[in-house]
Chain A
């Protein structure tokens, strides 16, 4: 009887482990055949434009507000600055696919975990070109799966207006970051929400006309 109990516990344990290690899948989608090899995110692709947003950051229940600006410096590099509403610079950084350089950072934000998180988040937001691995679809969206180091990005393109509305950044098994875009067209996002699944961090950016 005791043996049976142990076997039951082991097998149910393995079953649970198997369940929790299940490869990440987007629910209610089907895989489709597609010849498309690349996906392009044009939201920060115009080097002539100043991208200016009101920023609201919620981190572990604390609120931080300010102004966020971004600019494409060259084909691979974007520069971004976060200031207080009074205009004092809090953070000034440059990010590309392979580099991250902090030009200025106030002491309160100058922590490895903060800078690492922002580096990864904004590399995702600014990145323009993705190589497509697989393509899925649901009723409203075409979803492009792309490889990103040992992680993945799923890019949700709305079927009717071809706008990128969502990007999920995942490991093999779990969603880590969700980025939502709202815009009038494919080249300008009026609203961007970056939400983390493993830490209590949410960054909301709303365009302010400049």
Chain B
């Protein structure tokens, strides 16, 4: 009986720790200041990532992984290496795609949609999405993370994304996990690993 009680109490504790609480106004303000300050110092970023696509009817999430390179203000290479090769590069208002050797490019300068995607990706990784007119933002925290929840304001984005959740490990000012939740509640979770801020790498990673 005592063991059962103990287990019950332990589980209760776990639930309490895992639960999210809304951040107070003071907490939000200092958190935003810290992230803004850190973001301003980021000139480049290099990270590995694992992407999990969750579809409710599947028995297992679909897992893909790769590397991401970002250079301020607008160079981005998002590269899948496993289980297949695929890269998308944002460079000089152009989008270059290399799908397992099949290359194509899109002129993003004229496309509002691509501008939004670019902003969303760069913002998600760096964490700098706070003052975006596109989203209304709520702030939460649990034992491990500060969590910002971004709800799209425009109907264009609402059609594709219901909610974006950014997870900042406590004590860090950059994102370690992103969840993009679709209107159906299926979601894509991206976990960043081996993140290196202001890492030195050659601009040639942005060549297709």
Task: State the A residues within 8 Å of B (CB).
Answer: 48, 50, 52, 54, 56, 63, 65, 67, 69, 71, 73, 79, 81, 83, 85-89, 92, 103-104, 106-107, 206, 208-210
CB neighbors of A among B35-72 (8 A): 51, 53, 55, 57-60, 62-64
CB < 8 Å neighbour of B53 from A56, A67, A79? A67
CB < 8 Å neighbour of A87 from B53, B58, B184? B53
Q: Are A71 and B57 in contact, with the CB atoms below 8 A?
A: yes
Q: Are A50 and B59 in contact, with the CB atoms below 8 A?
A: yes
Q: Are A65 and B99 in contact, with the CB atoms below 8 A?
A: yes
| Chain A residue with the shortest CB-CB distance to B186 | A89
| Given A54-B84, A56-B99, A71-B58: A107 and B182 interface contact (C-beta under 8 Å) | no
CB < 8 Å neighbour of A56 from B80, B102, B160? B102
Residues in B with CB closer than 8 Å to A48 are 59
| Given A48-B59, A69-B62, A88-B188: A63 and B99 interface contact (C-beta under 8 Å) | yes
| Given A65-B99, A69-B62: A89 and B86 interface contact (C-beta under 8 Å) | no
Q: Please give the distance in Å from A41's CB to the nearest CB on chain B.
A: 21
Q: Please give the distance in Å from A16's CB to the nearest CB on chain B.
A: 41
Which 10 pairs across A and B sit closest by C-beta, in order of nearness?
A: A87-B188, A87-B53, A65-B99, A208-B83, A50-B58, A85-B86, A54-B84, A79-B57, A50-B59, A210-B62
Q: Are A65 and B58 in contact, with the CB atoms below 8 A?
A: no
Residues in B with CB closer than 8 Å to A69 are 55, 58, 62
A-B contact pairs, 29 of them (CB 8 A): A50-B60, A50-B62, A52-B62, A56-B100, A63-B102, A65-B102, A67-B53, A67-B62, A71-B58, A73-B57, A81-B55, A85-B64, A85-B86, A85-B99, A86-B188, A87-B51, A87-B62, A87-B180, A87-B188, A88-B180, A88-B182, A88-B188, A89-B55, A104-B182, A104-B183, A104-B184, A106-B160, A208-B83, A209-B83
- Known contacts A63-B104, A65-B97, A86-B188; 11 additional CB pairs below 8 A are A54-B83, A54-B84, A54-B100, A67-B53, A71-B57, A81-B55, A87-B180, A88-B161, A88-B182, A104-B183, A210-B63
Q: Please give the distance in Å from B144's CB to the nearest CB on chain A.
A: 23
Q: Please give the distance in Å from B81's CB to the nearest CB on chain A.
A: 12
Chain A CB within 8 A of B112 CB: no
The A contact surface, by secondary structure, is strand
| Chain A residue with the shortest CB-CB distance to B58 | A50
Chain A CB within 8 A of B4 CB: no
Q: Please give the distance in Å from B97's CB to the nearest CB on chain A.
A: 8
| Chain B residue with the shortest CB-CB distance to A88 | B160
| Chain A residue with the shortest CB-CB distance to B61 | A210
Q: Are B104 and A103 in contact, with the CB atoms below 8 A?
A: no
**What separation, in Å, do the CA atoms of A50 and B102 have in the docked complex?**
27
CB < 8 Å neighbour of B159 from A86, A103, A107, A208? A107
| Chain A residue with the shortest CB-CB distance to B84 | A54
| Given A73-B57, A87-B53: A208 and B84 interface contact (C-beta under 8 Å) | yes
**What separation, in Å, do the CA atoms of A92 and B160 have in the docked complex?**
13
**What separation, in Å, do the CA atoms of A210 and B83 have in the docked complex?**
9
Residues in B with CB closer than 8 Å to A210 are 60, 62-63
Q: Are B86 and A65 in contact, with the CB atoms below 8 A?
A: yes
